[in-house]
């Protein structure tokens, strides 16, 4: 019996609360600072951007935060997501490892992003917002928020990084099918966008620029709020349904991971799978190695500095302490657009400093090679972002083979690659290159970090 095994759970097993890692940490993360005063910000500072409930979640130290009924009702459409034992992959790798993966690609938008998009849309609707403005890179987040907006009857306005807007028309089409308005960024719709265009009329855009535009729209319109798809505490919180479900599903398999692997861009899918396991460990449970895998071309955790920085290029956001390559750092183009962000979630950065997680960086061709191996064994084609987690898990499994040890490896397969087949086409054609950033530019971006004590 070498076939892939699925562990399912009934709808009643969908978590009733999100898990808040902050409750179990030995030390709290550093405060978020106001960009003007450099003093810790309060709820009022964020009120123009977010509904109060999300601001409260951002700073909460409660261990369990109840998932509202209407959010769980929408989750039920695709949750509990399957947990698989990758028996066919194990056979292909000839490894004694027990490889498990949690598959978030079954959501309507094809990734883990709806876990937080639905929650954010719900709270915004409750708070009386008419519209949400956001940014998107490759489009996974934008399409997920568009889906959630359609469900709750909210207008969604997405600033999409221009290079992706032009190169990835199908994610844009998905957003429009859900009824969202998608705008290439930098755009002429915001003051910041116009200032960028004035200086660089041919700007390809970046996530940092698109964030500035969306924040500006939200800050200047009474009926409009802002939503972010990763990085912030409340976003990571909403993703913890993934890990909580995985714990219950692994119990069905009578197993527990020795290693948990996730890919990291802003940090949300990684947090989703990892935080519940880290929490169990902090409360006296089994020690688990937790590995964050990031692209070598944008290596905030492995090459960035742990320092206060802005979340955007226009410096409209508060300052958070995180592993950052500098807000002016421009990563080279690569296919995992969802991982092209200069900073890492403050909470993920904090636990890296606490020694609770490891980090590793891989070039994209190695990740695609791993993704193709996975697809041929398991039948699911991963998104380029997810290929980083696949690569990390396969490396762990190969180490088990070398050492002749059977370990349980769990990774998060955060999305399918059906919108990303051009990347696979390029890979097979030998056109995929491992572009690297310019070390001098990185040094300059780091030198430009705001000088904040702490």
Which residues form the interface with a second copy (CB under 8 A)? Answer: 1, 3-6, 8, 10-11, 70, 73-74, 76-77, 84, 88, 106, 108-110, 147, 150-151, 169-174, 176-179, 372, 375-381, 416, 418-419, 421-422, 424-425, 428
CB of 250 to a second copy, least distance (A): 17
CB of 40 to a second copy, least distance (A): 39
Task: Assess contact for 116 and 57: CB atoms under 8 A.
Answer: no
Quote the CA–CA distance of 311 and 343 in Å, as a whole number.
Answer: 7
CB of 419 to a second copy, least distance (A): 6
Task: Assess contact for 84 and 394: CB atoms under 8 A.
Answer: no
Task: Assess contact for 211 and 311: CB atoms under 8 A.
Answer: yes
The bridge status of strand 224-226 relative to strand 5-7 is unpaired
Closer by beta carbon to a second copy, 72 or else 234? 72
CB of 11 to a second copy, least distance (A): 7
- Please tell me whether residue 350 adopts helix, strand or coil conformation: helix
Quote the CA–CA distance of 141 and 159 in Å, as a whole number.
Answer: 11
Closer by beta carbon to a second copy, 220 or else 425? 425
How many helices (DSSP H) and strands (DSSP E) are in the chain? Answer: 19, 15
Task: Assess contact for 411 and 367: CB atoms under 8 A.
Answer: no
CB of 176 to a second copy, least distance (A): 6
Quote the CA–CA distance of 227 and 148 in Å, as a whole number.
Answer: 12
The bridge status of strand 181-185 relative to strand 155-161 is parallel
Task: Assess contact for 280 and 309: CB atoms under 8 A.
Answer: no
Closer by beta carbon to a second copy, 145 or else 218? 145
What's the residue count for the chain?
454
CB of 427 to a second copy, least distance (A): 9
* DSSP E strands, 45-176: 64-66, 83-85, 98-103, 131-136, 155-161
CB of 349 to a second copy, least distance (A): 33
Closer by beta carbon to a second copy, 35 or else 70? 70
Closer by beta carbon to a second copy, 50 or else 427? 427
Closer by beta carbon to a second copy, 22 or else 71? 71
Q: What is the dihedral of CA 31, 230, 77, 68, to 10 degrees?
A: 20
CB of 101 to a second copy, least distance (A): 12
Closer by beta carbon to a second copy, 98 or else 321? 98
CB of 318 to a second copy, least distance (A): 33
Q: At what angle do helices 207-220 and 191-199 cross, to 10 degrees?
A: 140
Closer by beta carbon to a second copy, 19 or else 419? 419
Quote the CA–CA distance of 371 and 394 in Å, as a whole number.
Answer: 10
Report in angstroms the alpha-carbon separations of 412 from 23, 45, 57. 23, 34, 24
Closer by beta carbon to a second copy, 73 or else 223? 73
Quote the CA–CA distance of 297 and 299 in Å, as a whole number.
Answer: 6
Task: Assess contact for 144 and 229: CB atoms under 8 A.
Answer: yes
HSE-up of residue 199 (Cα within 13 Å, Cβ side): 8
Closer by beta carbon to a second copy, 31 or else 179? 179
- Please tell me whether residue 396 adopts helix, strand or coil conformation: helix
Closer by beta carbon to a second copy, 179 or else 450? 179
- Please tell me whether residue 229 adopts helix, strand or coil conformation: coil
CB of 424 to a second copy, least distance (A): 5
* Per-residue DSSP letter, 317: S
CB of 141 to a second copy, least distance (A): 15
């Amino acid at each position: 019996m070498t076939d892939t095994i699925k562990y399912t759970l009934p709808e009643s097993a969908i978590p009733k609360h999100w898990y808040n890692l902050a409750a179990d940490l030995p030390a709290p993360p550093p405060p978020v600072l106001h960009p003007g005063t450099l003093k810790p910000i309060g709820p009022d500072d964020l009120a123009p951007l977010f509904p109060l409930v999300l601001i409260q979640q951002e700073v909460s130290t409660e261990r369990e935060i109840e998932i509202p009924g209407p959010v769980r009702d929408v989750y039920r459409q695709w949750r509990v997501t399957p947990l698989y034992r990758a028996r066919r992959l194990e056979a292909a790798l000839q490894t004694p490892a027990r490889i498990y993966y949690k598959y978030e690609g079954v959501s309507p938008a094809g990734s883990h992003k709806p876990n937080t998009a639905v929650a954010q849309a719900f709270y915004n609707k409750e708070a009386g917002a008419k519209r949400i403005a956001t940014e998107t890179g490759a489009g996974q987040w934008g399409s997920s928020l568009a889906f959630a907006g359609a469900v709750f009857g909210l207008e969604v306005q997405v600033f999409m990084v221009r290079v992706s807007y032009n190169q990835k028309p199908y994610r844009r089409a998905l957003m429009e099918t859900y009824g969202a308005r998608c705008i290439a960024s930098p755009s002429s719709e915001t003051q910041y966008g116009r200032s960028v265009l004035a200086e660089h009329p041919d700007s390809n855009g970046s996530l940092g620029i698109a964030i500035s535009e969306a924040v500006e729209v939200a800050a200047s319109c009474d009926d409009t709020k802002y939503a972010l798809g990763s990085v912030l505490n409340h976003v990571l919180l909403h993703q913890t349904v993934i890990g909580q479900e995985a714990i219950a599903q692994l119990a069905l398999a009578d197993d527990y991971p020795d290693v948990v692997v996730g890919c990291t861009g802003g940090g949300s899918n990684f947090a989703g799978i990892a935080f519940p396991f880290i929490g169990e460990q902090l409360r006296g449970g089994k020690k688990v190695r937790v590995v964050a895998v990031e692209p070598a071309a944008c290596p905030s955790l492995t090459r960035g500095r742990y320092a206060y920085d802005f979340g955007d290029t226009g410096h409209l956001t508060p300052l958070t302490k995180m592993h950052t390559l500098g807000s002016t750092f421009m990563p080279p183009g690569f296919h995992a657009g969802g991982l092209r962000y200069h900073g890492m979630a403050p909470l993920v950065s904090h636990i890296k400093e606490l020694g609770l997680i490891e980090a590793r960086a891989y070039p994209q061709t190695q990740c695609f090679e791993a993704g193709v191996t996975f697809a041929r064994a398991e039948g699911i084609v991963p998104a380029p972002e997810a290929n980083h987690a696949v690569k990390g898990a396969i490396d762990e499994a190969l180490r088990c083979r070398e050492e002749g040890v059977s370990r349980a490896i769990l990774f998060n397969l955060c999305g399918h690659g059906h919108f990303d087949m051009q990347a696979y086409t390029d890979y097979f054609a030998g056109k995929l290159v491992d572009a690297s950033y310019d070390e001098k530019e990185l040094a300059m971006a780091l030198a430009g970090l705001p000088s904040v004590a702490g």
